[in-house]
Amino acid sequence: MSQGLTIDEQASLSDLNTLAVAAQARYLVAIASERHLREALNWAADRKLDTLVLGGGSNLVFAGDYDGLVLHMAIRGRSWEQVSGDDAVLILGAGENWHDAVIYAARSGYRGIENLALIPGTAGAAPVQNIGAYGVELGDTLISVTALDRSTMGSVTLTAADCEFGYRDSLFKRHPGRYIILEIRLGLSRSRPLKLGYRDLQDYLGNTDTASLTPLDVAEAVMAVRRRKLPDPAVLPNVGSFFKNPVVDAGLYERLHAQCPDLVSYPAEQGVKLAAAWLIDQAGWKGFRSARVGIHNRQALVLINHSGGTGEDVLALADEVRQSVQDKFGVELEMEPGIVG
């Protein structure tokens, strides 16, 4: 054991992943500060152990045990800086719960992240996959990220441009393991326009007088819309969307659209983006259930661990889904969560 660090051996990860699959870490440590992080990395390096950074465990699948040191990010802290006129910067420690931070900002009257309510996970994980929902992505408000750059062991500040955000994509995904996020800064405002254009949100709001809506009203509307379709991981363990919405070329899109006129699609930078949920639904998977795992009955993009499924059970089902969408539509689905072990 190192000074100031409590390192558990053969620790269960079941409660640290929202799919609730059973897995063990050879070593597990909670990281409450940058100093802790440096000590833990040195401890692992002395023993030639691999390390895994874990936030809320809501975007990964443990396919087996982890034979190294799991760094459970618990750096707390919420503060405001540069409050001027209607604008302010919200600083969040990497271990802050994302949804709680959204509600905190909305209650304070600041706009910018209210559409991202109820997304599971931590603030430090949010930039990694550039979380997005209901017409808003993290990259729309993120000003900068402070991270430990493991290639130099120095602390770096990366601007939003440095983060190279894309759809469910970022610099952090392209350089796995290089940066460990310590803190994020978000540029919020009391007066920026609310984003109410996403269809489900519009349908929910109906004839509401949108001029009088507060960011908290919008966060609550998003929560209600999500609860209608997306399962609560505490009740039905899941990692949200299991696949990204695929982008296909114009030729394939035309052929599919001719076959299926109700194909759901959106314009994309290089081709046409299709709704993976629609493809999986049309392939007959919605509500499917095997002994331990299944597909949600209200959103075909979500895989569920019903009763004691392993990561391998979940990945085997994902493979079957991917294969059947490939066979039926000729479209390749790419997994959204990472696989560990």
Both tokens assigned to 53: 């950074």
Residue from 144, 185, 241, 322 carrying the catalytic annotation: 241
In the bound state with ligand EPU, the residue whose beta carbon lies nearer, of 109 and 198, is: 198
Q: Give residue 303's region: left, alpha or beta (phi > 0; psi -120 to 50).
A: beta
Say how far apart CA 86 and CA 161 lie, in whole Å.
Answer: 24
Whole-number minimum distance, CB 174 to ligand EPU, in Å? 18
What is the pattern of x (binds ligand EPU, CB under 6 A) and - over residues 233-262? -------xx--xx-----------------
Q: Does 268 bind ligand EPU (CB under 6 A)?
A: no
Q: Could you give the 3-state DSSP secondary structure of residue 305? A: strand
In the bound state with ligand EPU, the residue whose beta carbon lies nearer, of 5 and 268, is: 268
Both tokens assigned to 276: 């993976």
Rounded-to-10 torsion of CA 30, 36, 39, 41: 60
Q: Binders of ligand EPU: how many residues, by CB under 6 A?
A: 20
CA distances from 292 to 15, 69, 89 (A): 18, 29, 44
Q: Contacting ligand EPU (CB under 6 A), which of 92, 277, 315, 333?
A: 277
Say how far apart CA 297 and CA 285 lie, in whole Å.
Answer: 9
Q: Confirm whether 241 is a catalytic residue.
A: yes
Q: Confirm whether 178 is a catalytic residue.
A: no
Query: Which 81-100 positions form the footprint of ligand EPU (CB under 6 A)?
Result: none
Whole-number minimum distance, CB 222 to ligand EPU, in Å? 9
In the bound state with ligand EPU, the residue whose beta carbon lies nearer, of 46 and 262, is: 262
Positive or negative, the CA dihedral 187, 190, 193, 196 is positive
What is the pattern of x (binds ligand EPU, CB under 6 A) and - over residues 169-208? -----------------------------x-x--------
Residue 137 DSSP symbol: E
DSSP for 12-36, written as a single string: E-GGGSTT----EEEEEEEE-SHHH
Q: Confirm whether 336 is a catalytic residue.
A: yes
Q: Contacting ligand EPU (CB under 6 A), which of 27, 278, 288, 329?
A: 278
In the bound state with ligand EPU, the residue whose beta carbon lies nearer, of 27 and 242, is: 242
Say how far apart CA 331 and CA 259 lie, in whole Å.
Answer: 14
Q: Does 299 bind ligand EPU (CB under 6 A)?
A: yes
The interface region with ligand EPU, picked from 29-37, 145-153, 175-183, 274-282 by CB under 6 A, is 274-282
Say how far apart CA 118 and CA 125 lie, in whole Å.
Answer: 14
Residue 177 DSSP symbol: T
Which residues are bridge partners to 87 per DSSP?
A: 84, 189
Q: Does 222 bind ligand EPU (CB under 6 A)?
A: no
Whole-number minimum distance, CB 137 to ligand EPU, in Å? 10
Both tokens assigned to 203: 């349908």
Q: Does 300 bind ligand EPU (CB under 6 A)?
A: yes
Q: Does 51 bind ligand EPU (CB under 6 A)?
A: no
The residues binding ligand EPU (CB under 6 A) are 133-134, 198, 200, 229-230, 240-241, 244-245, 264, 275, 277-278, 281, 286, 299-301, 336
Catalytic residues: 168, 241, 336
